[in-house]
Amino acid sequence: MSIRVILADDHRIVRHGLRSLLEQERDMEVIAEAADGREAVQLTRELKPDVIVMDLSMPDLNGIEATRQVLEENPGVKVLALSMHSDKRFVAGVLGAGASGYLLKDCALDELVRAIHSVAVDQTYLSPSIAGVVVQGYTQQVRGSDAPVMSSLSPREQEVLQLMAEGKPVKEIASILHLSVKTVETHRHQIMNKLGVYSVAELTKYAIREGLTSLGE
């Protein structure tokens, strides 16, 4: 029985390359491609894949928040993060959202295939360099390191922050998230108060630094 895979990455050439490679595997089937996190959530809702190979830095809805939303609706789906970033903020963010594995984009094909097989049977898979980041993060947590400010934002506030950083006006954000303009403005006010940042330019810098948006790439 084939492992049904969705590829989520905002670069078409990356998606097509991954599709070509994975479709050479006899037990894997790429059933769809998503160009951003929101599309990945929708396609998962419709197609119920076994595994999503998820890029983290995508526009509109980043891979970390997409992972959280996917698994909230479809807890049986496995998410394998495939990213160029080894920074602990990305690793901790997506694993905390429920991803089953984390690979760097410079990995070999056989490692990607091995990782997909692993997460498909409910195992965790981490690139060797990522495993060290996870251990370091756990050690810091045990020692009582301060939690990052980002953790004070709710998932909805993180969504609003990403869309603001990507230059979308309040009315458009309200339409995308199916909220009232007043609710979006309330979220914006709360975000600024929690972060102690009161200009869109500074919010944008913060969102890029924390990996919420791909604008920094």
HSE on the CB side for 108, CA within 13 Å?
4
Q: From CA 62, how far away is CA 82, in angstroms rounded?
A: 13
Q: Quick one: pLDDT at residue 149?
A: 54
Token representation of residue 177: 């998230």
Q: Quick one: pLDDT at residue 136?
A: 52
Q: Quick one: pLDDT at residue 28?
A: 96
Q: Quick one: pLDDT at residue 145?
A: 46
Where do the domains of the chain lie, and which CATH numbers do they carry?
A: 3-142 (3.40.50.2300), 149-216 (1.10.10.10)
Q: Quick one: pLDDT at residue 192?
A: 86
Distance from the first to the final alpha carbon of the chain: 38
Q: Quick one: pLDDT at residue 139?
A: 37
Q: Quick one: pLDDT at residue 42?
A: 97
Q: How would you write the pLDDT of the chain (217 residues) with one tens digit per residue?
A: 899 999 999 999 999 999 999 999 999 999 999 999 999 999 999 999 999 999 998 989 999 999 999 999 999 999 999 998 887 778 888 888 999 999 998 888 899 999 999 999 999 898 877 766 555 544 344 344 444 556 678 889 988 988 988 888 899 999 999 999 999 999 988 888 888 877 777 787 778 777 777 654 4
Token representation of residue 134: 């996870």
pTM, two decimals, is 0.71
